[in-house]
Amino acid sequence: MNFELKHLDLIAAADEKADVLLLLLPKDYKGGKDELSTLMTTAIKSGDLETAAGKTLSMYRPLQVAATRLVLAVTDGSARSTRSAVLAAIAAAKSPQLKKMLVCFAAPALDEAVRAAVHAVADATYSFTTTKSKPQARTLAKTTIGVVNAPDVAQSFERAVAIVAGVEFAKEWANRPANHATPQHLGEAALALAKHPKISCEVLGPKEVAKLGMGSFMAVAQGSDQPLRFIVLRYSGASKNKAPSVLVGKGITFDSGGISIKPAAEMDEMKFDMSGAASVLGTFKTLSLLKPAVNVVGLIPACENLINGRAVKPGDVVTSMSGQTIEILNTDAEGRLVLCDALTYAERFKPSAVVDIATLTGACVVALGAVRSGMFSPNDALANSLADAGERAQDLCWRLPLDDEYAEGLKSHFADVANIGGRAGGAITAAKFLQRFADKFPWAHLDIAGSAWKSGANKGATGRPVGLLVEYLLAQTSTK
């Protein structure tokens, strides 16, 4: 889908031909003397359009506009309200004939509102088609965002369009069934990204990973016939002496739980267990478009967690790349086992910060639901930067504690550490496990188990937290 930003007032918007004109009105809209303004003020005065955020009024072929359909939607101008208004309006106007849409602000728009409108249009019209024999692809081909202050919001608009491309790239890979998104497939996707300027990629296989001593990662992979891949992406947008930010994405392309097997119900959703990896791929997609002056490394340990005669067993002890030994008490706590070796590998880049992204724990879903991702970091500056980035992107996270006492449950009689710490505070004990491997750099962990995908009738990947990650990285362009 193509997006365009256009300088439009209401008179010009009325003359634009489109399948739908989606007009966003402020709650306190007063209106002008043109026909479209008169229509809107009449609708408000008559009570047909309530002046509460998210309320809509839909009309077919009104004489006041050239568009086939007109949808009026009320917003208070904030990002959240704008998103809700656009989603509600598209739901009212969506049809197989929707190919060209104009989203117009009736008053000067804030940067955050324009970004929210772009993201909402993309979310509302996204369609996964890769594995369908008769796909119902997105019919909307072009969306024009009309504002009276277009030059003021142009930079935010361009950023939003690039982030949408990254989000949809992440959705594509997270939505793919596991047989269409194997570790090898993820490696190929990363190599394709390296065709863009400033991006390079190296994909390591089992032999290279064994030489590195990634015993924890290999232990998870040994239960599958699909060979593991360790993907190293690099975006070089700044000088070589500028320390990179490192993103580590959990790439479990299917998680059966291993010997500690999961219940059958909804196990199909475990194809989403590589959403952290997908978010890293999506972030690099956006970087290829925006070309910011930053250095970024993306690390993806990719494998399946399945069961065969070689599968790791509860009670097995493995040696991580760091040299620390791990007692695997639960084979379904495998994400931390692949991430810990990737965190050790990250040390070689002398990073300014490392952020790992993982669908790690059901406990985080219980704690925060699907609204906010869980965020853990012992570094206040990094934690604040990520939280601020989430607010700007409307891709929210919430900081959870890392008190040392939470690590007590990880003690083992037979190894340096156990891979689980009991049911209580499960998201925190998982983060405490990872913290043991991240003491050489500023580190943060994002648990996206609740935010990475939706279940039920709208099942599918959300593409989060690409927006948060991109906003965080772009903020680094202003730091030394």
Answer yes or no: is 158 within a domain: no
Q: Specify if 443 maps to a domain.
A: yes
Strands 353-358, 417-418: pairing is: unpaired
The rounded Cα 301 to chain-centroid distance in angstroms is: 18
Q: Which of 83, 234, 285, 336 is catalytic?
A: 336
Confidence of residue 479 (pLDDT cuts 50, 70, 90): very low
Pick from 151, 185, 210: which residue ends a domain? 151
Residues 106 and 189 in one domain: no
Q: Is 336 a catalytic residue?
A: yes
Q: What is the pLDDT at residue 54?
A: 81
* Domain CATH number, residue 50: 3.40.220.10
Are 90 and 237 found together in one domain? Answer: no
Q: 122, 1 in Cβ contact below 8 A? A: yes
Q: Average of pLDDT values for 308-333? A: 98
DSSP symbols for 202-226: EEE-HHHHHHHT-HHHHHHHTTSSS
Domain assignment present for 72 = yes
CATH number at residue 281: 3.40.630.10
For residue 238 the two structure tokens come to: 């700044």
Neighbours of 384 (CB within 10 A): 12
pLDDT at residue 107 tops 60: yes
DSSP result, 350-373:
--SEEEEEE---HHHHHHHTTTSE
- Last residue of a domain, which of 151, 183, 205? 151
Helix axes 150-175, 275-290, angle to 10 degrees: 150
**Is the C-alpha dihedral spanning 112, 116, 118, 119 positive or negative?**
positive
Tell me the pTM.
0.96
The pLDDT of residue 191 is 98
The domain total for the chain is 2
Looking at the fold, whether 455 and 356 belong to one and the same domain comes out as: yes
**480 has pLDDT over 80:** no
Residue 149: C-alpha distances to residues 7, 81, 101, 217 (Å) = 7, 19, 19, 52
In a shared domain, residues 385 and 424: yes
**407 and 333, same structural domain?**
yes
Write down which residue in 99, 122, 151 finishes a domain.
Answer: 151
Taking alpha carbons only, the member of 178, 180, 166 closest to residue 130 is: 180
Q: Convert 252-279 into a string of H (helix), E (strand) and C (coil).
A: EEEECCCCCCCCCCCHHHHHHHHHHHHH
Looking at the fold, whether 326 and 238 belong to one and the same domain comes out as yes
Strand partners, 375: 399, 446
Give the pLDDT confidence of 398-431 residue by residue, as tens digits.
999 999 999 999 999 999 999 999 889 999 999 9
Q: Chain-wide mean pLDDT for the chain?
A: 96
Quick one: 99 and 188 in the same domain? no
The reply to whether 412 falls in a domain is yes
Over residues 345-388, the pLDDT tens digits come to 999 999 999 999 999 999 999 999 999 999 999 999 999 999 99
- Does residue 408 share a domain with residue 264? yes
Phi and psi, residue 88, nearest 5°: -65, -40
Label residue 92 by pLDDT band (50, 70, 90): confident
Q: Please, which pLDDT band fits residue 478 given cuts at 50, 70 and 90?
A: low
Half-sphere exposure in the Cβ direction for 307 (13 Å, CA): 11
Tell me which long-range contacts 35-44 makes (C-beta under 8 A, separation of at least 24). Answer: 35/63, 35/64, 36/10, 36/11, 36/64, 36/65, 37/10, 38/64, 39/64, 40/72, 40/106, 43/72
Residues 6+ apart with CB under 8 A from 226: 182, 183, 184, 253, 303, 304
pLDDT confidence tier of residue 142, bands split at 50, 70 and 90: very high
DSSP letter at 227 equals P
**Domain contains 159:** no
Sign of CA dihedral 350, 217, 447, 424: negative
Q: Which of 467, 321, 442 is nearest to 384 (CA)?
A: 442
**In the predicted structure, residue 96 carries a pLDDT above the cut 80:** no
Same domain, 202 and 351: yes
Taking only the tens place, the pLDDT of each residue in 189-217 is 999 999 999 999 999 999 999 999 999 99
Q: Would residue 161 count as lying in a domain?
A: no
Q: Are 324 and 457 contained in the same domain? A: yes
pLDDT above 90: percentage of residues in the chain: 92
Range of the domain at 266: 171-478
Is 166 within a domain? no
139 in the same domain as 32: yes
Q: How many CB atoms lie within 10 A of CB 197?
A: 10
Q: Identify the active-site residue in 94, 198, 262, 454.
A: 262
Q: Tokens at residue 203, please?
A: 């994909």
**Based on the domain organization, do 68 and 137 belong to the same domain?**
yes
Q: Is residue 156 part of a domain?
A: no
